[in-house]
């Protein structure tokens, strides 16, 4: 069961507070599904997603991460990130397609791709970055968290100002407007003992990156 903050998605989202003080928009939709449904999606994606280690070229050497990724899209998009060409695979799996449709209903946006990240434990995270390599200006990026609660942080590129929030099982946040131009974001590592987490990042991929 999904809990939408409103039925009129295009006109009635003004109640969603902007979590950023300037130069962008971050809306926190909170937990949008019941625990048993979130559990079901988490378990299916853990088993069925095409997980593989992320990779990058560092000083000419191929480095693979413990964190795993899977990238799905309407078409086999390609782009180069960290010296490595990435290629999407077409949507598959009933859970992922249901989540895509639900995210579109919830946020009033259309998405043609989804990047999944699997963090096996609290020692795995992702450093400060902005999603600019394959972004259009004023891109809308929606993120759904499944699994263990983890701390998500944002840092203003010019001032260093910080914002943090804990993302829980079934929670959705949306970054809009100038956010990627002015803010970096990170999933912070922790020494606490927590379980696995999956993030699903939905966006509309730019035309110039289509294969």
CA–CA separation, 36 and 125 (whole Å): 25
Give me the long-range contacts of 18-22 (CB less than 8 A, separation at least 24).
19/163, 19/165, 19/173, 20/154, 20/163, 20/179, 20/183, 21/161, 21/163, 22/156, 22/182
Query: Which residue shows structure tokens 């971050």?
Result: 26
DSSP letter, residue 17: P
**pLDDT value of residue 55:** 67
Residue spans per domain, the chain: 25-205
Convert the pLDDT of each residue in 88-122 to its tens digit: 999 988 899 999 999 999 999 999 999 999 999 99
**pLDDT value of residue 6:** 39
* Four-residue CA torsion sign, 98, 104, 110, 115: negative
CA–CA separation, 134 and 7 (whole Å): 31
What average pLDDT does the segment 20-31 reach?
Answer: 95
Q: Which candidate, 1, 199, 190, 5, places its Cα nearest to that of 118?
A: 199
Is the Cβ–Cβ distance between 147 and 194 less than 8 Å?
A: no
> How many residues does this entry show for the chain?
211
For residues 199 and 61, the model is more confident at: 199
Is 188's pLDDT higher than 80? yes
For residues 111 and 14, the model is more confident at: 111
Q: Which candidate, 128, 98, 100, places its Cα nearest to that of 115?
A: 100
89-90 vs 61-73, strand pairing mode: parallel
CATH code, residues 25-205:
2.60.120.590
Is the Cβ–Cβ distance between 71 and 115 less than 8 Å?
A: yes
CA–CA separation, 26 and 20 (whole Å): 6
Mean pLDDT for the chain? Answer: 86
């Amino acid at each position: 069961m999904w809990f939408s903050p409103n039925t009129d998605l295009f006109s009635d989202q003004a109640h969603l507070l902007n979590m950023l003080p300037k130069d962008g928009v971050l809306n926190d939709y909170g937990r949008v599904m019941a625990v048993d449904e979130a559990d079901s999606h988490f378990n299916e994606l853990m088993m069925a997603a095409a997980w593989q280690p992320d990779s990058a070229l560092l000083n000419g050497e191929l480095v693979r991460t413990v964190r795993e990724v899977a990238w799905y899209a309407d078409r086999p998009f390609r782009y180069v990130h960290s010296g490595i060409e990435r290629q999407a695979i077409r949507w598959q799996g009933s859970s992922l397609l249901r989540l895509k449709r639900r995210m579109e209903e919830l946020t009033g946006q259309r998405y043609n791709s989804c990047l999944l990240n699997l963090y096996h434990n609290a020692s795995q995270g992702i450093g400060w970055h902005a999603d600019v390599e394959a972004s259009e200006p004023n891109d809308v990026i929606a993120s759904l968290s499944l699994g263990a609660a983890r701390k998500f942080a944002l840092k203003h590129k010019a001032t260093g100002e910080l914002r943090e929030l804990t993302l829980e099982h079934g929670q959705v946040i949306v970054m809009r407007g100038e956010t990627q131009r002015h803010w970096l974001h990170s999933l912070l590592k922790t020494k606490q003992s927590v379980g696995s987490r999956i993030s699903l990042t939905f966006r509309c991929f730019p035309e110039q990156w289509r294969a």
